[in-house]
Structure 1
Amino acid sequence: MFKFGKILMGLMMASSAWAQMPHEVLVVVNRRSQASMLAANVFVAARQIPKNNLVYLDVPESAYGGSATITPEQFAKLIWEPANAAAERQGIAPQIMAWVYSVDFPIRVKTDASDRKQMSVGGMTFVRNQMPGLSLVEEGKYLSKLFAGPNQRLKLNLPGMSLGMNKNGLGMDAKVPPEAAYLQGGLGERMPLPSMMLGYIGEKGTDMQTVLDTITRGQQSDFRGQRQGIYFVQTDDVRSKCREYQFYPAVNELKQRQIEAVVTTNFPAGAENVMGLMVGAEKVDPSSVKSFAPGAMAEHLTSWSAEFQKPQTKMTEWLKAGATASAGAVVEPYSNPDKFPTARFFVHYASGCTMLESFYQSIACPLQSLLLGDPLAKPYAVPIAVKVLGADKLEHDFTYMVQAQSRASNVQYLYSFLFDGRLVKDVSEDFSFHVDVEKISDGYHELRAVAMIKHLVQFNASFDKAFTVNRLGRSVEVLPDVARLGKYEHGIKVRIGGGETPKMLKLVCGLQLLDEKVYERGAELVLDEQLVGEGPNRIRVIAVYADGMEVSSPPTSFGINFAK
């Protein structure tokens, strides 16, 4: 039904970079799955991700059903190549730092006949479709450049930092240990591509409501991190013993941040507001935990927790029980701790990193990992209030100004700007944005100002300023009366302002073209609900004039629920 509604811990930063932010996330959607579109729509609305950042792929059920396994050739053809082509076409490729897969995607890539040498879809994404030596994958000896230690190969405890720091570097004057010299200049073009999946609803996965609840819990968790409720559970199982050495050092690091974590031999059955849980066991009962706090991460180091045809307890049981994210292996990992999050996951999380950033800084070899949940949950981030000051209607050039405030003291703010969903002004200390009306079209526009704190973890917030330009007197407006044309189809009419009439009308959702028609008086565009999917949506009508100017209407927001 269609409804209208109008550290520095030994590192010294010499220069700045930007953090993982909503406009730096590419949301990958399977257009052949209504569930995939629903999850993506809810996530994008909850996280204020620009609609320009959605890419729609055609992945058949044969690829994500059953064991959800594809070949490397299928990964390239169905996912990697079309997603990157769409990002380039939409003008957002340079700003993307991470991918977020919606539901109904494959989870495993059959890179070898041997289960132990196969990779996850997230792993293939991470290496940008450049498969490493599979013996490194099997033995867990591939070492991620995002890993912040410690393990046998990187005997350091690097501080939590945002993805942009890894890519752009701390500056050549930054004091770093020799083993982490790459942090000075940054990884640049060698930067891997981390990803997460919003949920798994295939065999032995969760239902769709659990996926939506997980997104809600992630959003609710922001800036509300618990100061207790983190459990490291020890057992006699080798799955536990292989990473027990990490527990007490992590407890001590968390204590320095006034967060209480405990090492225990008792599973916290009946515990309330659990913020984190790590255990190593083949069988666990997540439902015995009375409640998880919003933003909680829980996982159990075991074989095949993300191989849904095997008998071990599945990682999805944590999400059903109320956790916001979990991690598992899509193959037999043989209790190799380098293939699972270290206990320092919670140290990075407590420093203010997002869920996704915390996972990738704590997994040395993430090439067989499936990471499920809200990637942008940030319970321990510092909140920032941002406001853009300026006019709502423009006929002449204008300069907008940004105000940023935070409870943090003695901080320096950096700013970046997006215009109509595209990054147009990189990070700088300049808190102003000048609009030259001669260079843009009449009609509706959006200016997003992003303010961030200059820090290893760059806490950030944004503000969207809507305004209209009236230089030539052209405008278009969606009329409120919507005609039902069929079960899923609705007729959309517009009002054209000014003395000129356009040549064409286009109905769009973000950059997705839904319908187009030659303009004539009373022209009706058709909205097919199935093209945009259930959940929160918004559409615009673009009037195309003879001189090529494309004039946008203000957006019309609505929700779709096929059950009604």
Structure 2
Amino acid sequence: MMSARESLKRIRQLSVLLAIILFSAASSVEAQTRISLPHTGFMPEDIAVIVNDDDPLSRQIGSYYQQARRIPENNIIHLRFSSERSAMTPKEFQQLKATIDQLTPDHVQAYAVAWTSPYRVGCMSLTSALALGFDKKYCSKACAPTTLSPYFNAQSQYPAIDYKLRPAMMLAGTSFEHVKALIDRGIASDHSFPNGQAYLLSTSDKARNNRAMSYAQTAKDLSGVFPLQILETNLISDHQDVLFYFTGMIEVPMLETLGFLPGALADHLTSFGGMLTDSSQMSSLRWLEAGATASYGTVVEPCSYPQKFPSPAVAMFHYALGATAIEAYWKSVAWPGQGVFIGEPLAKPFAPLLREINPGRYELTIFSPRTGQMRIEKSLSAAGPFKLHSRQQSIHRGKNLIHFRFNEKTDGYLKLQWN
């Protein structure tokens, strides 16, 4: 009997075969359907969008996101509840969660939440409660460790299957214009391989600077992958190449002077950044308004445990593998119960890109956080068996351009694999 993961892969393979049948005329489109690339991150069919029909802004956001990302209609989940508050009670949430679970298609791996409030459930963030279920072990007592997420730094691409967990991210903003711009940035980032900088700030705020102790190792681990600057300062300004920005401050000044590239991840370690609409500190929404594509903040007092905040090294590593923003960010937080994830979930700036540059000649762009090898295998049948088509090619850290020839009449089907 097939496992759930095998069944999902088989469905995707059948989708490719159907595409081949539908595009039976010889064309670039047909040729590319005969070339199989590794799955590196979520696709639109993997995301369910949760909409609050009692909130006009939520309806507007959900509708735009569905159209912009071509989310299947069956993946849209409609709820009705009061949104005029920052938090809901665990009892209220459990009732909504039962409806969400009932309406979620089995193949869905993650949620996009089409509202900004409420962002909290009791002592947990809304996104973590949706992913993990409301459970006090994920928020524990004040100033104490919480339960480890099984998704932390995981290699899994199917969290709903492997861990019974669906990560969630909020399409958050104070207006439709803000959220539309966020969504558009996420889409613009896809396969763009932005040539941006990672800024890791070691600040004078000792209580909020505890991620800085890992920066040197991060720079070593990601050498040759991203240009990375470790700066002993409380702010940066006037940089137009910001791809990652990690810091620790109550407020982060001069964001309006920065140029965030599409797909940028940015956050500040502080107690209440995840209180999106009513924080006494800088709300994490300010990052999105400044041009970042995803961010994170805690909704209740976390007491400065670095495990409750994103690990820059882990987030950047998984992003470089071609994961989406929701996957990379979620995998970077060991104890996510008190933190809310906001942004455009499907942004994937480093997902591989295949294009035909001349008839029968293809260029594959791969981004990698490590060295490895790529194999090209071919078969006359989509079902295989596949055999080595050409010698293995070396993959280096960072951006790789690989050229190869393919004739669908003689080569049949190609499978590209790398590690």
Asked if Structure 1 and Structure 2 have the same fold, meaning a TM-score greater than 0.5 normalized by the shorter chain, the answer is yes
**Shift of residue 43 of structure 1?**
1.6
Matched position secondary structure for 1:367 = coil
Displacement of 1:46: 2.2
Change (3 A) 1:244 1:137: same
One-letter amino acid of the structure 2 residue matched with residue 369 of structure 1: G
Q: Rate the CA distance shift 1:129–1:311 in 2: closer, same or farther, 3 A.
A: closer
Displacement of 1:136 in angstroms is 6.9
Other-structure match for 1:278: 246
Letter in 2 for 1:73: K
Selected match of 2:198 from 230, 233, 238: 230
Provide the residue aligned with 2:133 in structure 1. Answer: 128
Q: Counterparts of 1:290 and 1:411 in 2: how far apart (Å)?
A: 42
Which of the residues 269, 274, 289 maps onto 1:306? 274
Deviation at 1:385, TM superposition (A): 5.9
Residue pair 2:41, 2:323 contacting (<8 A) in 1 also: no
Counterpart of 2:90, as a letter, is P
Larger radius of gyration: 1
> Structure 1 CA distance, aligned partners of 2:177 and 2:144?
37
1:370 to 321, 333, 340: 340
The residue aligned with 1:290 is: 258
Distance in 1 of aligned mates of 2:415 and 2:345: 19
Question: What is residue 143 of structure 1 aligned with on the other side?
Answer: 148
Of 73, 76, 80, which aligns to 2:94? 76
Distance in 2 of aligned mates of 1:135 and 1:230:
33
Indicate the residue corresponding to 1:173 in structure 2: none
| Paired AA for residue 127 in structure 2 | G
Query: Residue 264 of structure 2 aligns to a residue in which SS?
Result: strand
SS of match in other structure, 2:342? strand
Q: Deviations over 1:241-279 (max 9, x none)?
A: 31112212222232232x201100232211112111001
In structure 2, the partner of 1:109 is 121
CA distance in 2: counterparts of 1:272 and 1:122, whole angstroms: 31
1:215 to 166, 174, 183: 183
Amino acid at match of 2:375: N
CA contact (8 A) 2:40 2:321 kept: no
| Identity score, percent | 27
Cα distance, 1:73 vs structure 2: 0.7
Match of residue 330 from structure 2: 360
Given candidates 314, 317, 333, the residue that maps to 2:302 is 333
Tell me the amino acid that sits aligned with residue 300 of structure 2: V
- 8 Å Cα contact 1:333/1:339 also seen in 2: yes
Shift in alpha-carbon separation, 1:242–1:39, aligned structure 2, 3 A: same
Pair 1:340–1:411, CA change in 2 (3 A):
farther
CA distance in 2, matches of 1:81, 1:405: 46
3-state SS, counterpart of residue 56 of structure 1:
strand
Q: What is the alpha-carbon distance in structure 2 between the residues aligned to residue 50 and residue 215 of structure 1?
A: 17
Could you say what secondary structure the match of 2:223 adopts?
Answer: helix
Counterpart of 1:316 (choices 285, 296, 301) is 285
Taking the aligned partners of 1:84 and 1:167, their CA distance within structure 2 comes to 12
Shift of 1:101: 0.5
Unaligned stretches of 5+ in structure 1? 1-15, 111-117, 149-157, 169-186, 201-205, 387-403, 415-427, 432-450, 457-564
Q: Which amino acid aligns with 1:194?
A: P
Aligned to 1:192: 165
Q: What pairs up with 1:475-554 in 2 under 5 angstroms?
A: none
The equivalent of 2:84 in structure 1 is 65
TM-score (norm: length of structure 2): 0.73
Q: Which residue of 2 aligns with 1:43?
A: 65
The 4+ residue runs of structure 1 with deviation greater than 6 A are none
The question of whether the paired residues in 2 share the 8 Å contact of 1:234 and 1:240 is answered with: no
Secondary structure in 2 matching 1:132: helix
Once the two structures are superposed, residues 348-367 of structure 1 have per-residue CA deviations (whole angstroms, 9 ceiling, x without a partner) of 21221110111111100111
Which letter maps to 1:65? E
Please report how far the alpha carbon of residue 406 of structure 1 lies from its aligned counterpart in structure 2 after TM superposition: 4.1
CA distance in 1, matches of 2:284, 2:138: 27
Q: Deviation digits for residues 377-421 of structure 1, max 9, x if unmatched?
A: 1111112469xxxxxxxxxxxxxxxxx98446634699xxxxxxx
Q: Which residue of 2 aligns with 1:400?
A: none
Change (3 A) 1:269 1:43: same
C-alpha distance in 2 between matches for 1:452 and 1:57? 42
Shift of 1:162: 4.8
| Alpha-carbon distance change, 375 to 239 in structure 1, aligned in 2, over 3 angstroms | farther
Change (3 A) 1:269 1:119: same
CA shift digits 1:116-157 (9 cap, x unpaired): xx1111121121345536537852331111112xxxxxxxxx
Deviation at 1:280, TM superposition (A): 0.2
Answer with 342-351 or 23-32: which moved more: 342-351
Structure 1 residues 235 and 38 mapped into 2: Cα distance closer, same or farther (>3 Å)? same
SS class of match (2:337): helix
Distance (Å, rounded) in 2 between the aligned partners of 1:75 and 1:65: 15
